[in-house]
Amino acid sequence: MSETATIVNPQITDSVTQVNTKVVGETPAMAMGNLLMSTSHALSNAAHNATTAQQQGQITMQAATVQGVNAIMGIGSAVIGRTGEGIVEKG
């Protein structure tokens, strides 16, 4: 090979060096950005899951309250029916 074919233009080597320096310099910022994005995504998922759990718990408590009220009302009807039956039998 001739000597001129192996010589690289200094502008090319400077350009490649600048790009390599830029990439190495940006790496910590990119890593920190990825960390912050992952953390914020995990926290938003946790908040969403907490809201969903709270809603489901509220639905369960409301259903239990309705069942309790129905049980109380049923007992009242049974007591009134027994009392009425006693009155009719004595009368």
What's the pLDDT tens digit per position in 72-85?
Answer: 777 767 777 777 77
Q: Would you give the DSSP letter of residue 8?
A: P
Question: Is 55 part of a structural domain of the chain?
Answer: no
Structurally, how many domains does the chain consist of?
Answer: 1
Question: What is the distance between the alpha carbons of residues 40 and 48, in angstroms, rounded to a whole number?
Answer: 12
Indicate whether 4 belongs to any domain: no
More confident residue, 35 or 6: 35
**pLDDT grade for 89, boundaries at 50, 70 and 90:** confident
CA 3 to chain centre: 64
pLDDT tier, 3 (very low <50, low <70, confident <90, very high otherwise): low
Structural domain boundaries enclosing 89 = 65-91
Residue 77 domain flag:
yes
To the question of pTM greater than 0.75 for the whole model, the response is no
Average pLDDT of the segment spanning 34-45: 97
Look at residue 72 and tell me if it is in a domain: yes
Considering Cα of 24, then 26, then 32, then 33, what sign does the dihedral take? negative
User: Could you give the maximum distance between any two Cα atoms of the chain, in Å?
Assistant: 131
Per-residue pLDDT band at 7 (split at 50, 70, 90): confident
Asked whether residue 45 is domain-assigned, the answer is: no
Residue 75, domain member (yes or no):
yes
Q: Give every CB contact of residue 70 below 8 A, 6+ residues apart in sequence.
A: none
